[in-house]
Each structure stands twice: as C-alpha cells, then as structure tokens.
C-alpha cells in the first residue's frame, strides 16, 4: 500500500497577468490526498474597492469575478481574508504536510505573495519547503515520454486528455479541483 500523500493546490483569478500591476480577485485552495479525495478547502473573493491595482477587461471577461462579487457576498475585508488564509495554510501544513502543487504554480505563487505581503505576511510558500510540484512541468515530461497525447499543456487541454469536465472553468475552486484530478491522473500514468 502506497504512503498517504497530500497536495495543497492554490488557484487565483486575477485582473491580468502582472502581479505588480493587476488585482488579485479570487483565491481558492484545496487539499487532496493521493486518491483524489478532497479533505479541505479555502475560498475568498477579494474586495476590488480595497485594491488600487488595475484589471484588464479581457481578464474580467475570462474570470467573471465581477459577476460573483457584490452586496450578497457578505465579503470580509482583504486584511481579514489574508489573516484567515494564512491561518488556514498553517493549519493545513501542520495537519497534512502537503506538497504545494498547481498548474503554472509560479503564477499563483506570485499573485498570492503580492497580496499577502501587502497585508503583512512574507514568504508563504516557504511553509512547504522545497515540496513544490508544477503540473505543467509534469505534463511536459509525460508528453515528451509519449504518455500524454495532447499538444497543449494548459489546464483545459489536460482535463480533456483525462476526460475531466470543468463546467466552472476560471473560478478558483473549480480550477483547484480540476488541477487535483489532472495531477492524480498523471501520477497514475507514472505508476503504470
């Protein structure tokens, strides 16, 4: 029997591609075990009025955060979101000792780092030591070995390769869950 392993998968929805210039709109993070079972999650929409950074209209069209944020969301302040997220990360780290994993992981790390630094926290990803796994890099290795047929390595193409349906693509929690399933499928390919 294989040892139980956990993966913490963050995903962000952003106002553009530049973490220095564009807003972080949404944070999602899930913890999965190596069988694909979700054991915990964190989700928050950020208050766009508390951040002076910009959003591109293209990013707004893709992630649709503007449709999900409003008076009905019972929104915490961005400082409260940062505080809750940090406590959640520390709790997950202590409970599960997860590997930090994600699709284009450095993108999400950059945006989350900018957000947390603006609210008093540095180097959040160091909680996980050197245990980081980018599913894009793993997919490239599997592609080069002939185990993946897809030419594209974006999350949509990888999900399609494994027949994973993500009806809520470009929402943080749905993309975390899809990334987890893609990762588990790729790990199973390696096992075979």
Q: Which of 46-55, 114-123, 181-190 is predicted least confidently?
A: 46-55
CB 124 within 8 A of CB 89: yes
How far is CA 126 from its chain centroid? 16
Provide the pLDDT for residue 1.
42
How far is CA 128 from its chain centroid? 15
Percentage of the chain with pLDDT > 70?
Answer: 94
Instruction: Please tell me the distance from the alpha carbon of residue 58 to that of residue 64, in angstroms, as a whole number.
Output: 10
Q: Give residue 2's pLDDT band: very low, low, confident or very high (50, 70, 90).
A: low
Residue 67's CB: how many other CB atoms inside 10 A?
A: 8
pLDDT tens digits, residue range 132-157?
Answer: 999 999 999 999 999 999 999 999 99
Q: What is the mean pLDDT of the chain?
A: 92
Provide the pLDDT for residue 25.
92
Please state whether the predicted TM-score (pTM) of the whole model is above 0.75.
Answer: yes
* 3-class DSSP state of 56: coil
Q: Give residue 51's pLDDT band: very low, low, confident or very high (50, 70, 90).
A: confident
pLDDT at 100 over 60: yes
Question: Mean pLDDT across the stretch 99-113?
Answer: 97
Start-to-end Cα distance in the chain: 15
pLDDT at 187 over 80: yes
CB 179 within 8 A of CB 136: no
Give how far Cα 21 sits from Cα of 15, 16, 65, 73, Å: 9, 8, 17, 25
CB 132 within 8 A of CB 100: yes
Provide the pLDDT for residue 38.
97
Give 14's DSSP letter.
E
More confident residue, 55 or 84: 84
Provide the pLDDT for residue 11.
97
CB 12 within 8 A of CB 176: no
């Amino acid at each position: 029997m294989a040892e139980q392993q956990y993966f913490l998968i963050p995903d962000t929805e952003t106002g553009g591609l530049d973490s220095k210039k564009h807003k972080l709109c949404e944070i999602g993070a899930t913890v999965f075990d190596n069988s694909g079972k979700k054991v915990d999650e964190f989700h928050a929409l950020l208050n766009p009025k508390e951040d002076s950074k910009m959003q591109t209209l293209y990013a707004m069209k893709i992630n649709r955060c503007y449709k999900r944020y409003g008076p009905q969301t019972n929104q915490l302040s961005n400082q409260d979101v940062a505080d809750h997220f940090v406590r959640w990360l520390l709790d997950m780290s202590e409970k599960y000792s997860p590997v930090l994993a994600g699709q284009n992981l450095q993108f999400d790390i950059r945006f989350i780092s900018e957000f947390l630094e603006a609210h008093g926290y540095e180097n959040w990803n160091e909680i996980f030591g050197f245990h980081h796994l980018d599913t894009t890099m793993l997919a490239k290795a599997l592609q080069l070995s002939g185990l993946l047929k897809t030419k594209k390595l974006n999350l949509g193409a990888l999900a399609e390769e494994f027949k994973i349906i993500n009806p809520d693509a470009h929402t943080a929690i749905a993309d975390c869950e899809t990334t987890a399933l893609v990762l588990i499928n790729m790990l199973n390919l390696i096992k075979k």
